[in-house]
Amino acid sequence: MTKETAPERQNGCVLSIAGLSIHYPLRHTTIRAVENVDLAVHGNEVLGLAGESGSGKSTLALGVLRLLRPPGRVTAGQIHFDGVELLEQSEGRFRELRWRRFAYIPQGSMSALNPVMRLQDQFSDTLVAHGERMAPAALRARCTEALHGVGLEPDILPRYPHELSGGMRQRICIALALLLGPQLIIADEPTSALDVISQRVVLETLAEARRAIGASMLLIGHDMALLAQVTDRLGIMYAGRLVEMSTTRALFANPQHPYTRRLIASIPDVKDRRAFVSEAGESEAQWPLDAPMVEVAAGHFVRPWQGGEGSSREGAAG
Ligand SMILES: Nc1ncnc2c1ncn2[C@@H]1O[C@H](COP(=O)(O)OP(=O)(O)O)[C@@H](O)[C@H]1O
Ligand SMILES: [Mg+2]
């Protein structure tokens, strides 16, 4: 099971993406939803990916999971998962990997629960579908453990999804996603359908359940305050590109790129209500997104922009 292999996942890369581009070719134009993205998710780490709607976060996740919707396709790059190049795998081999080692928690996943099926049957179906055969007592123990992992009691198992609150339904989805002990969790705005209070609590539950099984997580979101709560490192996406990547602590303590600063400034602050103020004179048109990222401090990478520290390197080819 997962727990035995957890320690060896402490080090090294679980997921490593290099030069990844994903495009949607349309009749008159091509949407470059993801362009030349490099990132790595290390063992036992939560990497956050933030950026406004349309910045390419979901496309990146779907590209890794081979779930892109037409006409989306990967046009360049490599995706290594635990040493295996995913893009080179056959459909069958890839499906097996995704099935056994990935957990995908998409936006609004709680609506994916079967409304006419008791929760206990949804749990046993998940286990059976993955080829796990177990006696009823063992099944019950497994479900109980999974529910405890997300702060729920097994007495809800005979219930139907509509009998639960949104927050509880989302916890059930997390429990189902983690039931088979995945090595990598990809969660795309997993709490965005919930109210603000539930979002925090459910996200913390997800983070704890992840920690308990020693999985790594790529956590996508647009709410910087929520992401700050549970991520180890954060990448900031803008128009399909990464513009900044660093530890979450350094990103908040010393944000570099104007877009990162704008995202942080948009967090409503109870002490200082000057929220949503953008920096005077900065213009998105001046952000040269092709220049290579510059390491401004150990592990803190930023895309140079005009007027910024790295601007002397702007002429460099990307
Ligand atoms: N199936 C699709 N067909 C065409 N364009 C798409 C499709 N899905 C997403 N896009 C476009 O790709 C870009 C990135 O979208 P998306 O990955 O959903 O961003 P995010 O998750 O950051 O909101 C957007 O411009 C979006 O309109
Ligand atoms: Mg999205």
User: What's residue 190's pLDDT?
Assistant: 93
Mean pLDDT computed over 73-81: 97
- Using the predicted structure, report yes or no on whether residue 2 has a pLDDT greater than 70: no
CA of 106 to the centre of ligand 1 (A): 15
Q: Does ligand 1 come within 6 angstroms of the Cβ of 29?
A: no
Q: Is residue 151 part of a domain?
A: no
User: What's residue 308's pLDDT?
Assistant: 64
CA of 238 to the centre of ligand 2 (A): 13
Inter-CA distances, 294 with 96, 264, 313, Å: 38, 20, 9
Question: CA torsion sign, 191 to 182 to 64 to 231?
Answer: positive
The count of structural domains within the chain is 1
Q: Is residue 92 part of a domain?
A: yes
- Using the predicted structure, report yes or no on whether residue 19 has a pLDDT greater than 90: yes
User: What's residue 3's pLDDT?
Assistant: 40
| pLDDT per residue as tens digits for the range 228-284 | 999 999 999 999 999 999 999 999 999 999 999 999 998 876 455 444 444 444 556
Portion of the chain with pLDDT greater than 90, in percent:
71
99 contacts 130 by C-beta, under 8 angstroms? yes
Q: 212: buried, middle or exposed (CB in 10 Å: 19+, 13-18, 0-12)?
A: middle
Q: Is residue 128 part of a domain?
A: no
User: What's residue 290's pLDDT?
Assistant: 85
User: What's residue 94's pLDDT?
Assistant: 95
The more confident residue out of 147 and 282 is 147
The answer to pTM > 0.85 is yes
Domain ranges, residue 301: 11-110+182-310
Q: Which of 23-27, 50-54, 293-297, 308-312 has the lowest mean pLDDT?
A: 308-312
Q: Does ligand 1 come within 6 angstroms of the Cβ of 67?
A: no
Q: Is residue 225 part of a domain?
A: yes
| pLDDT per residue as tens digits for the range 274-306 | 444 444 445 566 687 888 999 999 999 999 987
Here the CATH number for the domain that contains residue 245 is 3.40.50.300
179 contacts 139 by C-beta, under 8 angstroms? no
Residue nearest to atom 16 of ligand 1 (CA): 56
User: What does the angle CA 308 – CA 313 – CA 317 come to, to the nearest 5 degrees?
Assistant: 130
For residue 11, the 8-state DSSP code is S
Q: Does ligand 1 come within 6 angstroms of the Cβ of 307?
A: no
User: What's residue 278's pLDDT?
Assistant: 46
Helices (H) and strands (E) in the chain, counts: 10, 12
Q: Does ligand 1 come within 6 angstroms of the Cβ of 256?
A: no
- Using the predicted structure, report yes or no on whether residue 310 has a pLDDT greater than 60: no
User: What's residue 64's pLDDT?
Assistant: 97
- Using the predicted structure, report yes or no on whether residue 61 has a pLDDT greater than 60: yes
Mean pLDDT computed over 116-131: 90
Banded model confidence at residue 12, pLDDT cuts 50, 70, 90: confident
Q: Which atom of ligand 1 is nearest to the CA of 55?
A: 22
Q: Is residue 104 part of a domain?
A: yes
Residue nearest to atom 12 of ligand 1 (CA): 33
Banded model confidence at residue 63, pLDDT cuts 50, 70, 90: very high
The backbone torsions φ and ψ at residue 213, rounded to the nearest 5 degrees and listed phi first, read -100, 0
| pLDDT per residue as tens digits for the range 197-238 | 889 999 999 999 999 999 999 999 989 999 999 999 999 999
CA of 58 to the centre of ligand 1 (A): 7
Q: Is residue 196 part of a domain?
A: yes
Give the bridge partners for 50, in sequence order. Answer: 221, 236
Mean pLDDT computed over 149-158: 94
Q: 238: buried, middle or exposed (CB in 10 Å: 19+, 13-18, 0-12)?
A: buried
Between CA 176 and CA 180 the distance in angstroms is 8
The more confident residue out of 126 and 287 is 126
Phi/psi zone of residue 276: left (φ > 0), alpha (ψ -120 to 50 degrees), beta?
Answer: left
Banded model confidence at residue 1, pLDDT cuts 50, 70, 90: very low
Give the bridge partners for 303, in sequence order. Answer: none
Q: Is residue 67 part of a domain?
A: yes
Q: Does ligand 1 come within 6 angstroms of the Cβ of 56?
A: yes
- 3-class state of residue 85 by DSSP: strand
CA of 159 to the centre of ligand 1 (A): 36
> Which 3-state string (H, E, C) describes 162-225?
HHCCHHHHHHHHHHHHHCCCCCEEEEECCCCCCCHHHHHHHHHHHHHHHHHHCCEEEEEECCHH
User: What's residue 309's pLDDT?
Assistant: 55
219 contacts 15 by C-beta, under 8 angstroms? no
Banded model confidence at residue 7, pLDDT cuts 50, 70, 90: very low
Q: Is residue 174 part of a domain?
A: no
Checking DSSP bridges between strand 30-42 and strand 46-50, what pairing results, if any? unpaired
CA of 211 to the centre of ligand 2 (A): 24
